[in-house]
């Protein structure tokens, strides 16, 4: 079982939320851009940059150009599925409002 990352490791990986495709209280499918990676399947996100919202999201799937991948490198865009607490706080960004960035850590090997 993976532990929730400590605050010290909060920003070891980052995804920028471009668009929320489907969202609920416990799961969201979103278009993202990897700002700091690689981000591997199983990565845990517990910080929403600039917000006090509580998150405990796990990346369960990443799809790049129609193909499932095990990890996202910095700069790649992808469709990802995140499951866990706080999925309902993810929002589609705009140039005016800015984009949300979730921060977390990869699972231990």
Q: Which pTM does this prediction carry?
A: 0.86
In contact, 39 and 13? CB cutoff 8 Å: yes
3-state secondary structure of 3: coil
pLDDT at position 108, please? 81
Provide the pLDDT confidence category of residue 3 given band limits of 50, 70 and 90: very low
> How does pLDDT run across 29-78, given as a tens digit for each residue?
999 999 999 999 999 999 999 888 889 999 999 999 999 999 999 999 99
In contact, 74 and 104? CB cutoff 8 Å: no
């Amino acid at each position: 079982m993976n532990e929730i990352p400590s605050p010290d490791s909060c920003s070891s990986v980052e995804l920028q939320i471009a668009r929320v495709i489907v969202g609920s209280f416990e799961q969201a499918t979103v278009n993202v851009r990897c700002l700091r990676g690689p981000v591997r399947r199983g990565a845990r996100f517990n910080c929403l940059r600039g917000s006090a919202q509580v998150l405990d999201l796990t990346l369960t799937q990443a799809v790049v150009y129609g193909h499932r991948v095990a990890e996202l490198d910095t700069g790649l865009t992808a469709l990802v599925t995140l499951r866990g607490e706080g999925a309902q706080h993810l929002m589609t960004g705009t140039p005016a409002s800015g984009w949300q960035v979730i921060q977390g850590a990869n699972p231990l090997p």
